[in-house]
């Protein structure tokens, strides 16, 4: 097929996610390797968002591809009630990467159903029904995960499921209170959360679900002491602490899992994305030993046809091993340091850059009309003039492929990116921000 034919059939037969269908013009990708993609006309594009912050090891990873091929020759599928070698071994590898309180894995198909099953498990274990999550959060768009989600992508699901309660992120940049320190902010946010727990009914809350580091809503990094404080609140009231590591996990922050940056041990961890880097879909729920032991004598009312799919688990085994063999964490910390330095320079240089937030190779640039007032470039949940789409389109023309959300642009490249590659691409971002400074504010 030609590129034109691929696009024509795409538009005629596919509903494209998160898009008005009229006027779409997707790039047809003919081949991809490392951090690059090529269209049918030979134009090269650089993946600066790891696709959907999942393609951590880039395109064309031979170790993962070979593992899938090897498993295909054995068998492609058996039901979850049978024991399979890749599922057994991957579960062992994952538990080996977790804190010493964690016990077992329940595999899912992706991140959304991982979060839904985590909630079910917390409810069954505690006998409680309410679940708390944050406004600036995204946990998936299926019905249960969409009710966990706090941002506008939850709106089509409303009126929602009873018992899903929202609270505010520790978003210091946007807070009206001028805190003297991160610790002061932590004290404030934890105090409000504790108060809300009591008002909701301390014995009714099964779980507090958080993206360990808020992802698509701005890479909001919790202030000092915040996550340990949430851990203490959960212990005080018998609430399960669920860390959603779907986006932040698997090396993205310079640690294998983001919660390792904050010295906490969750009760439940959800994962997906980077466990196979999208080569085959896979997600999962890791539960503590106490929760695992509970289901020795109580029915685990969770099930999926493709739970622990053999091909996906084979891909996962190879991917997790590759993280170790290729010292991916070492590269993330080395190149991530350069990324942080460059983002700080962009913040100083450009009047449209209100804030930059980064940890490892996980970062966002928050665009504003005025640095003093912090007025966002576009209103929360509204962009009638299509400013952010225009910015992403300008980057796209330069071959810098990423996405935006609200008034933020994300720089989350594959974890294999080199310093040289990163610096080459940030020149393009600098040029587009210059246009924003002069023409958009």
Q: Give the chain's mean pLDDT.
A: 97
pLDDT tens-digit profile of 172-214? 999 999 999 999 999 999 999 999 999 999 999 999 999 999 9
Question: 81 pLDDT band (50/70/90 cuts)?
Answer: very high
Other Cβ atoms less than 10 A from the Cβ of 198: the count is: 10
**% pLDDT > 90, the chain:** 100
Per-residue confidence (pLDDT) for residue 203, from 0 to 100: 97
Of 244, 246, 213, 242, nearest to 50 (Cα)?
246
Question: 429 pLDDT band (50/70/90 cuts)?
Answer: very high
pLDDT tens-digit profile of 99-136? 999 999 999 999 999 999 999 999 999 999 999 999 99
Per-residue confidence (pLDDT) for residue 328, from 0 to 100: 98
E strand segments, 256-415: 268-271, 283-288, 353-359, 362-370, 375-376, 400-401, 404-405, 408-410
Per-residue confidence (pLDDT) for residue 419, from 0 to 100: 98
Q: What angle do CA 187, 190, 192 make, to 5 degrees?
A: 105
E strand segments, 50-177: 102-108, 130-134, 164-167
CA dist 251 and 358 (Å) reads: 14
Q: What structural domains does the chain harbor? A: 3-57+327-439 (3.90.1150.10), 62-325 (3.40.640.10)
Of 123, 127, 107, nearest to 286 (Cα)?
107
b/e per residue, 293-328, with b = 16+ CB within 10 A? ebbeeeebebeeebbbbbbbbbbbbbbbbbbeeeeb
Per-residue confidence (pLDDT) for residue 50, from 0 to 100: 98
Per-residue confidence (pLDDT) for residue 410, from 0 to 100: 98
Distance of CA 65 to the CA centre of its chain: 23
CA dist 294 and 125 (Å) reads: 7
Per-residue confidence (pLDDT) for residue 182, from 0 to 100: 97
Query: What average pLDDT does this structure show over 251-274?
Result: 98
DSSP 3-state assignment of 283? strand
CA dist 178 and 242 (Å) reads: 30
Per-residue confidence (pLDDT) for residue 321, from 0 to 100: 98
For residue 165, list its beta bridge partners.
Answer: 132
Per-residue confidence (pLDDT) for residue 247, from 0 to 100: 98
Per-residue confidence (pLDDT) for residue 1, from 0 to 100: 94
pLDDT tens-digit profile of 375-422? 999 999 999 999 999 999 999 999 999 999 999 999 999 999 999 999
């Amino acid at each position: 097929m030609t590129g034109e034919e691929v696009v024509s059939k795409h538009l005629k037969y596919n509903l494209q996610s998160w898009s008005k269908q009229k006027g779409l013009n997707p790039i047809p990708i003919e081949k991809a390797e490392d951090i690059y993609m090529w269209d049918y006309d030979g134009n090269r594009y650089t993946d600066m968002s790891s696709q959907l912050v999942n393609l951590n090891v880039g395109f064309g990873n031979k170790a993962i591809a070979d593992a899938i091929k090897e498993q295909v020759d054995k068998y492609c599928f058996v039901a979850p009630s049978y024991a399979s070698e890749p599922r057994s071994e991957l579960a062992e590898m994952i538990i080996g990467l977790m804190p010493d309180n964690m016990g077992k894995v329940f595999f899912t198909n992706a991140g959304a159903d991982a979060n839904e099953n985590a909630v079910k498990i917390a409810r069954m274990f505690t006998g409680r029904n309410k679940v708390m999550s944050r406004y600036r959060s995204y946990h998936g768009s299926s019905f249960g995960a969409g009710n966990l989600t706090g941002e506008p992508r939850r709106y089509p699901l409303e009126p929602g499921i009873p018992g899903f309660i929202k609270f505010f992120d520790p978003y210091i940049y946007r807070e009206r209170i001028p805190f003297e320190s991160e610790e002061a902010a932590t004290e404030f946010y934890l105090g409000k959360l504790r108060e809300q727990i009591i008002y909701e009914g301390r014995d009714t809350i099964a779980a507090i679900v958080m993206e360990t580091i808020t992802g698509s809503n701005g890479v909001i990094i919790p202030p000092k002491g915040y996550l340990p404080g949430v851990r203490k609140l959960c212990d005080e009231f018998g609430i399960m602490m669920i860390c959603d590591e779907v986006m932040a996990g698997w090396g993205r922050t310079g640690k294998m899992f983001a919660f390792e940056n904050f010295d906490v041990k969750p009760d439940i961890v959800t994962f997906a994305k980077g466990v196979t880097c999208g080569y085959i879909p896979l997600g999962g729920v890791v539960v503590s030993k106490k929760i695992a032991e509970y289901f020795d004598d109580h029915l685990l009312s969770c099930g999926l046809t493709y739970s622990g799919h053999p091909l996906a688990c084979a891909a996962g085994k190879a991917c997790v091993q590759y993280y170790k063999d290729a010292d991916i964490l070492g590269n993330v910390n080395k190149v991530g340091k350069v990324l942080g330095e460059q983002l700080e320079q962009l913040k100083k240089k450009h009047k449209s850059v209100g804030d930059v937030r980064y940890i490892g190779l996980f970062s966002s640039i928050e665009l504003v009309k005025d640095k003093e007032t912090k007025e966002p470039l576009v209103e929360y949940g509204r962009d009638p003039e299509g400013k952010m789409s225009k910015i992403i389109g300008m980057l796209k023309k330069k071959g810098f492929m990423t996405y935006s959300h609200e008034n933020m642009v994300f720089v989350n490249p594959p974890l294999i990116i080199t310093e040289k590659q990163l610096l080459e691409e940030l020149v393009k971002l600098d040029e587009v921000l210059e246009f924003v400074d002069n023409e958009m504010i």
